[in-house]
C-alpha cells in the first residue's frame, strides 16, 4: 500500500468512525441512564436517513433547512418511542424493557418497509457536502473531511453539557443511582427524555453524515450500523461519552483497513466487528475507558 492509498483509507476510516461515534454516543448515554441496549437506536438512525430523503427530494427544502427539519423530526420520533415503549416499563425486569426495544426496532423496520417500500431509495445530494475536494493526492467529498470535525465539536459541547451544567449533573446522578437521585428531587422522566432527545439529534446528524457518501437507504440499513455502534460504545466503555467516540473511531478505522489490506476479507467486515467485541468482552469487559463495577447482592 503506497502513501496515497494509505492516506485515502485514513480519511475514509476516520470519517466512517466519526459517523459511528455520533451514533455510539446515543447508545452509551441511554445505557448509562436506563441500563438498556436501545436496539431501536439504529432504526431511528435509518428513519433519519429517510427523513432527509423526504425533506430534500420530495419537499425540495434547501439543505440547511432540511438538516434542521430532519433533526427535529428524529428527536420527536426518539422522544415518542421513549414515552410509548420504555416509560411504561420503568419498574419492569430488564429483560422486558430490552424485549420492548427489540419490538420497537422490529416495528420501525416494518413501518419503513410499508411506508417507503423495501426498495432502496437514493440519498439526495446535500449542497456543497458532495463536492469532491482534494488535499494533496487524497480526494474525497467535502462531507468526508468535515465529518470528524463536526463529531469532535459536538463531543466537546456534550462533555461541557454533562460536566458543567445543572442538567448534566442530574444526568450523571441518575446514571449513578436511579433511586437516590429521585429522592433528591430530580425529575427522572425529564432527564431520560432529554437523554433520548440528545441521542436522537446526534443520530440524525450521524445519519446525514453516514449516508451522504453512500448511495442508498433501505429499511434494513440501520441494523448493522446500529449494532456496530453499540459495539463501539462497549469497546469505549459503556456509559462513557469520550469512550464511545474512541470506540467509534476504532471500529471505523479497523473496518476500513481490513477491507483495504485484505480485499478477500470484505465479506467478513461485519463479522470482524463482532470478533473485536468478543475479544474486548473477554479481556476487558469494562471497555477502554469504563469503570469497574462491583456486583452486590
Please give the residue ranges that form the binding site for another protein (CB under 8 A).
Answer: 35-37, 84-85, 88-89, 92, 94-96, 98-100, 102-107, 109-111, 113-115, 117-118, 223, 227, 230-231, 234, 264, 267-268, 270-271, 273-275, 277-278, 281-282, 285, 297
- Three-class secondary structure of residue 139 per DSSP: strand
Q: Taking the complex as a whole, how short is the minimal distance between the CB of residue 112 and another protein, in angstroms?
A: 9
Where in 51-167 does DSSP place strands (E)? Answer: 121-122, 132-135, 138-141
User: Considering beta carbons, is residue 80 or 149 the nearer one to another protein?
Assistant: 80
Q: Is 72 exposed, middle or buried (0-12, 13-18, 19+ CB in 10 A)?
A: middle
Q: How far is the CB of 180 from another protein (least distance, A)?
A: 22
Question: Closest approach of Cβ 96 to another protein, in Å?
Answer: 5
Closer of 62 and 88 to another protein (Cβ): 88
Question: Which has the closest alpha carbon to 247: 209, 287, 279?
Answer: 287
Identify which of residues 123 and 230 has a Cβ nearer to another protein in the complex: 230
CB of 110 to another protein, least distance (A): 4
The nearer residue to another protein, 62 or 285, going by C-beta atoms, is 285
In angstroms, give the least distance from the CB of 93 to another protein. 9
Q: Please, which residue, 137 or 270, has the CB nearer to another protein?
A: 270
Amino acid at each position: 500500500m503506497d502513501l496515497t492509498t494509505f492516506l485515502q483509507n485514513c480519511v475514509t476510516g476516520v470519517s466512517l468512525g466519526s459517523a459511528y461515534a455520533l451514533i455510539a454516543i446515543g447508545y452509551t448515554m441511554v445505557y448509562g441512564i436506563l441500563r438498556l441496549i436501545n436496539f431501536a437506536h439504529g432504526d431511528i438512525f435509518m428513519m433519519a436517513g429517510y427523513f432527509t430523503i423526504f425533506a430534500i427530494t420530495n419537499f425540495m427544502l434547501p439543505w440547511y433547512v432540511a438538516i434542521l427539519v430532519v433533526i427535529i423530526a428524529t428527536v420527536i420520533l426518539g422522544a415518542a418511542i421513549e414515552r410509548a415503549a420504555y416509560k411504561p416499563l420503568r419498574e419492569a425486569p430488564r429483560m422486558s424493557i430490552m424485549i420492548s426495544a427489540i419490538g420497537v426496532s422490529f416495528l420501525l423496520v416494518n413501518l419503513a418497509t410499508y411506508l417507503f417500500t423495501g426498495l432502496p431509495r437514493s440519498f439526495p445530494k446535500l449542497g456543497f457536502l458532495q463536492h469532491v475536494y482534494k488535499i494533496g493526492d487524497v480526494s474525497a467529498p467535502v462531507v468526508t473531511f468535515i465529518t470528524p470535525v463536526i463529531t469532535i465539536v459536538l463531543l466537546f459541547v456534550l462533555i461541557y453539557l454533562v460536566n458543567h451544567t445543572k442538567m448534566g449533573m442530574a444526568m450523571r446522578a441518575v446514571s449513578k443511582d436511579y433511586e437516590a437521585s429521585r429522592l433528591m428531587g430530580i425529575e427522572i422522566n425529564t432527564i431520560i427524555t432529554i437523554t433520548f432527545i440528545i441521542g436522537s439529534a446526534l443520530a440524525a446528524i450521524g445519519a446525514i453524515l453516514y449516508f451522504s457518501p453512500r448511495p442508498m437507504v433501505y429499511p434494513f440499513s440501520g441494523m448493522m450500523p446500529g449494532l456496530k455502534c453499540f459495539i463501539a460504545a462497549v469497546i469505549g466503555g459503556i456509559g462513557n461519552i469520550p469512550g464511545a467516540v474512541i470506540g467509534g473511531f476504532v471500529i471505523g478505522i479497523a473496518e476500513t483497513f481490513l477491507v483495504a489490506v485484505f480485499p478477500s476479507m470484505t465479506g467478513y467486515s461485519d463479522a470482524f466487528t463482532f470478533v473485536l467485541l468478543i475479544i474486548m468482552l473477554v479481556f476487558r469487559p469494562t471497555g477502554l475507558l469504563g469503570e469497574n463495577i462491583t456486583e452486590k447482592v
